[in-house]
Chain A
Amino acid sequence: MIVPAGWYLLLAAVLFSIGVVGVLARRNLIVMFMCIELMLNSVNLTLIAFSRINGTLDGQVLSFFVMVVAAAEVTVGLALIVNLFRLKASVDADDVDTLRS
């Protein structure tokens, strides 16, 4: 049994879509943030699968950069969430509606 490369790409697409659904449906900011991490990881899987398809390592290097950017993004995002929690005493996305009223 050979695994076609498309299976990995399909798995990555499924994981990405689960992340999108999580961001759309969940209201907890931290869980939404974790779903964003899931989406970044699924894109990494796509890059690595294409790296193997093309027989070059460029996709792996790009995936490495994605990991670095994700690490920076997580620190900034979590600091923002902690600050928001100090301000509103809540991490619910629906509570952040100052512009709405």
Chain B
Amino acid sequence: MTAVLPPLLAQTLPDPSQATGSAEFWVFILVGAVSVGSALAMVLMRNPVHAALMLVVNFFTLAVLYAVLEAQFLAAVQVIVYAGAIMVLFLFVLMLIGVRREPRFSGSRIPAQGPIAVILGLLLVAALGYGIASPYMTGASACTPDAATAEAGDEARPCSGLVEANADGNTEGVGQLLFTRYVWPFEVTSVLLVIAAVGVMVIGRKREDRSELVDRTPAVVGAAAAAAEPEPAAAPAADDAEEGSAT
């Protein structure tokens, strides 16, 4: 009963070089396939609500991948902020403005826009894969690049990962960095959030008719009537106002 199952994920081991990595492999294959599939489905779905739900699936798969990559705090934040708050906001706006099934790629002004976009996307995959991913294709998962071992062609170097940085716990580590080295960006972030909140309130308020914005208190109405007088009558009033302000 007390037999301890061998941990298969590298981050569950005290010494990650002992990890077989098979669990990480299968998690990556399954979750990565679901992730790519849900992303493709999101682009291809005609109904925007279905696209939003596919995006929720994609966010959950990314949260799993974050957890596998030893970013447990960000995995939780991903579920809470993205899959929770942001997607609710998206669905709210979708329901607010009404949902309509629409043609998938047709109806655009540029001819063959969809095929061109797909070709450009494939080119982008090739470029990004060659430029970013290919240098890290060999070797164990996520190890500190060591020039000596890399030049020696040692592909089975032990995986250090984030074990040292996560020694006190991932949340503690991230929080410690956030409030020491990155405290100024953190403060600027709070300013950004306030600006965004105020800006959204300004943008999103209901636009009234311009005529309803006139102040209808008697004094203001009288002044407006005086200003609406024909020019000869309005000119002396303006002079009076200038004199009044000068003295």
User: What are 28 of the A-B contact pairs (CB < 8 Å)?
Assistant: A5-B139, A5-B141, A9-B129, A11-B35, A13-B133, A14-B36, A17-B128, A18-B121, A20-B124, A21-B121, A27-B108, A30-B97, A37-B55, A37-B82, A41-B62, A44-B74, A44-B78, A48-B66, A48-B71, A51-B69, A57-B166, A57-B170, A60-B174, A64-B178, A71-B193, A72-B195, A82-B96, A94-B109
In the complex, A61→B175 CA distance in Å?
Answer: 8
Cβ-neighbour of B133 out of A6, A30, A51, A82 (below 8 A): A6
With an 8 A cutoff between CB atoms, is B4 at the interface? no
B193 contacts A11, C-beta separation under 8 Å: no
Cβ-neighbour of A72 out of B109, B121, B181, B196 (below 8 A): B196
A15 contacts B36, C-beta separation under 8 Å: yes
B196 contacts A76, C-beta separation under 8 Å: yes
8 Å CB interface, A1-51 against B: 1-11, 13-22, 24-28, 30-31, 33-35, 37-38, 41, 44-46, 48-49, 51
With an 8 A cutoff between CB atoms, is B135 at the interface? yes
8 Å CB interface, A61-100 against B: 61, 63-65, 67-76, 78-83, 85-86, 91, 94
Interface size for B (C-beta < 8 A) is 97
With an 8 A cutoff between CB atoms, is B200 at the interface? yes
Number of A-B contacts (CB under 8 A): 257
A8 contacts B65, C-beta separation under 8 Å: yes
Contacts A3-B21, A22-B42, A83-B204 known; A53 to B142 CB distance under 8 Å?
A: yes
With an 8 A cutoff between CB atoms, is A54 at the interface? yes
CB distance from B38 to the nearest CB of A (A): 10
In the complex, A74→B204 CA distance in Å?
Answer: 13
Binding site secondary structure of chain B = helix
CB distance from A11 to the nearest CB of B (A): 5
Cβ-neighbour of B200 out of A5, A9, A37, A75 (below 8 A): A75
A52 contacts B142, C-beta separation under 8 Å: yes
- Measured between beta carbons, the chain B residues less than 8 angstroms from A85 are 97
A4 contacts B136, C-beta separation under 8 Å: yes
Contacts A8-B69, A41-B82, A76-B200 known; A28 to B137 CB distance under 8 Å?
A: no
Q: Which residues of A contact B (CB under 8 A)?
A: 1-11, 13-22, 24-28, 30-31, 33-35, 37-38, 41, 44-46, 48-49, 51-58, 60-61, 63-65, 67-76, 78-83, 85-86, 91, 94
With an 8 A cutoff between CB atoms, is B237 at the interface? no
CB distance from B88 to the nearest CB of A (A): 11
| Residue interface mask B102-145, A partner, CB < 8 A = 1 | 10010111000110111011101100110011111111111111
B86 contacts A65, C-beta separation under 8 Å: no
Contacts A17-B121, A76-B199 known; A22 to B86 CB distance under 8 Å?
A: no
8 Å CB interface, B177-225 against A: 177-178, 181-182, 185, 189, 192-193, 195-197, 199-200, 203-204, 207
